[in-house]
Amino acid sequence: MKTHVKFENVTKQYNLGLTRTSLPSIISGWLQRSLRQDASSGVQSRSFLALEDVNFELRPGESLALVGANGAGKTTILKLLANITKPTSGSIYMDGHLSALIELGAGFHPDLTGRENIFLNGTILGLSRKQIASQFDEIVDFSELEQFIDTPVKRYSSGMTVRLGFAVASCINPEILLVDEVLAVGDAAFQQKCMHRIRDLIGKGTSIIFVSHNFYLIQAVCNRALYLEKGKVKNQGSPKEIIALYEQDLHQKRTAKLENLAHASDDETGDVEITRVDVYGTQSTESGSLVNNQPVQIQIHYNAYKPLGKVHVSVFIRRSDGLTCCMLRTKLDNFELSLDRGQGTVSLYLEPLQLITGTYYAEAWFLNESDSIGIVTRAGRSDWFSVKGSVLSYTDDSGVFEPHTRWSHQPYLPSSGNGTFAETQPVMTQLT
């Protein structure tokens, strides 16, 4: 059977010691060493194994998810596939036209317009101008950027850039598509559209390699997953199995850390870690959307690895296009919060939610006692949640929130007889 991609014993080593190359620093290094008369501590070129003996294969129409912590080697695999770098040893076999979406806006030039960038990016991906011209309308259509196509890309929001990038990369019908986390930036509706598009491509025989921390997306798109740990393939199997395994490992690591006093704190997680942020509604629609006039609860689950005493929490609610809708802080609400070693949940109640129809996520931070310095190394982020308000779709002009409202109307009555308006004070209705 035909193979699109094959990795055989691939190892990639990066040299970290290359930074020290200037002559003055080399000479001063020599001097320091000869003064210390310590010949052994030479310039050690530290190296770092990003990938070690990785093997896998990908057939047409297969989609593979790469799962693993940051630094496990996911991006290195994508870079090797995209031909950006070469393996230190081992061999990579590739067959087919490749389209890569390694990073947000890669291949876009900020000063050029959307239109010019479609051509530039398309030609970078190996298409001729003619081919791009024939697909141009489809690309623009998919990106939903008709209005902005002659605007320089530097004025685009990150969501718009991703939309354009995905539109170009996917509309050229690649045989192999690499997608790296970028879809997390787009809004939920566009994500859905991308998922459809990816499934279409898979149906046509495109192989996909997908990197995401969003396990829902992985399960929706991929039929296989590769679990990477410190550059090695730890396991492979169905996405469901692998994700379960990964979450289990993550949980074990956290529990071990909680139990082990000696390693109570490290740089990777800090003293406190937000393990999950959940958003619940007391009532939701059939499709799972929250309802804007109903109460909503945001839960922040944390692990504290040492007693922290008084802390503060900030929660941001952000809309899919990146707009911060509100910032809610324990400090401002005079809520006292003190953390001991262990796990717990901080809950925030919005009664009611009051956001308009749209897609949002919540982001949570722990801050120190004076509410000035963040004490988590990474913000906790909820999954996207959609809200159903009274308007079904929103435009840029419809604002962000829908407060409880009531209207009234008091016309000034014309004075009887001559048809002119009375020059009397309008009657104010008492608002109760």
Partner 1 sequence: MLIQARQLYQSRDLLSSWTGRNIRARYQQSALGWLWAIFQPAAQVAIFSIIFTRIVPVDTGDIPYPVFSYVAIVPWTLLASSLTDMSQSIVTNMGLVTKIYFPREILPVAAMLARLMDFGIALGLLFILMVIFRVPFFPPALIFLPLILIIQLFLIVGIGLGMSAANVFFRDVQSLLALGLQLWFYASPIIYPISMVPERLRSLYFLNPMAGILESYRDILIYQRLPGPYLIQSAVITMIIFVIGTWFFKRVEFRFADII
Smallest separation (angstroms) from partner 1 to the CB of 84: 5
Nearest to 56, CA basis, from 211, 227, 178: 227
d(C-alpha 102, C-alpha 168), whole Å: 13
For partner 1, the closer CB: 23 or 427:
23
What radius of gyration, in Å, describes the C-alpha atoms of the chain? 28
Cβ-contact 289, 297 below 8 angstroms = no
* Candidate residues 2, 21, 40, 411; the one interacting with partner 1 per rule CB under 8 A: 21
Closest CB to partner 1 among 79 and 318? 79
Q: Are strands 272-281 and 296-304 parallel, antiparallel or unpaired?
A: antiparallel
| Residue whose token pair is 């970290």 | 16
**Binding residue (CB under 8 A) for partner 1 from 20, 47, 91, 111:** 111
Please choose, out of 66-74, 76-84, 281-289, 328-336, the segment that lies near partner 1 by the rule CB under 8 A: 76-84
Kindly indicate which of the ranges 10-18, 212-220, 254-262, 286-294 contains the residues binding partner 1, using the contact rule CB under 8 A: 10-18
Among 51, 54, 67, 102, binds partner 1 (CB under 8 A): 102
- Which residues contact residue 59 at a Cβ distance below 8 angstroms, ignoring those fewer than 6 apart? 1, 2, 3, 4, 207
Q: Which is nearer to partner 1, 123 or 284 (CB)?
A: 123
**What tokens does 82 get?**
């995209």
Query: Can you list the positions of beta strands (E) in 71-181?
Result: 89-94, 98-101, 176-180
Instruction: Give the distance from CA 58 to its chain's centroid.
Output: 25
Q: How far apart are CA 366 and CA 277, in angstroms?
A: 12
DSSP reduced 3-state for 298: strand
Identify which of residues 177 and 279 has a Cβ nearer to partner 1 in the complex.
Answer: 177
Residue 103 CB, nearest distance to partner 1 (Å)?
Answer: 5
- Which residues are paired to 363 by β-bridges? 316, 381
Q: Please state, in angstroms and rounded to a whole number, the distance separating the CA atoms of residues 403 and 354.
A: 6
| Contact flag: residue 201 with partner 1 (CB under 8 A) | no
Q: Which stretch binds partner 1 (CB under 8 A): 101-109, 257-265, 282-290, 318-326?
A: 101-109
To partner 1, the closest distance from the beta carbon of 14 in angstroms equals 6
When the beta carbons of 165 and 358 are compared against partner 1, the nearer one is 165
Q: Is 107 in the site for partner 1 (CB under 8 A)?
A: yes
Asked if 84 is part of the footprint of partner 1 (rule: CB under 8 A), the reply reads yes
| 106 near partner 1, judged by CB under 8 A | yes
**Contact (Cβ atoms closer than 8 angstroms) between residue 2 and residue 95:** yes
Stretch in the footprint of partner 1 (CB under 8 A) among 12-20, 199-207, 217-225, 382-390: 12-20
- Mark the segment that binds partner 1 (CB under 8 A) among 84-92, 196-204, 310-318, 398-406: 84-92
Please name the residue that has the structure tokens 């389209």. 99
Amino acid at 299: Q
CA 119 – CA 178 distance, rounded (Å): 20
Site size toward partner 1, by CB under 8 A = 29
If one asks whether residue 109 binds partner 1 (CB under 8 A), the answer comes out as yes
**Would you count residue 92 as binding partner 1 (CB under 8 A)?**
no
> Residue 184 interacts with partner 1 (CB under 8 A)?
no
Q: Please give the residue ranges that form the binding site for partner 1 (CB under 8 A).
A: 14-15, 18, 21, 79, 82-86, 98, 100, 102-103, 106-107, 109, 111-112, 116, 119-120, 123-129
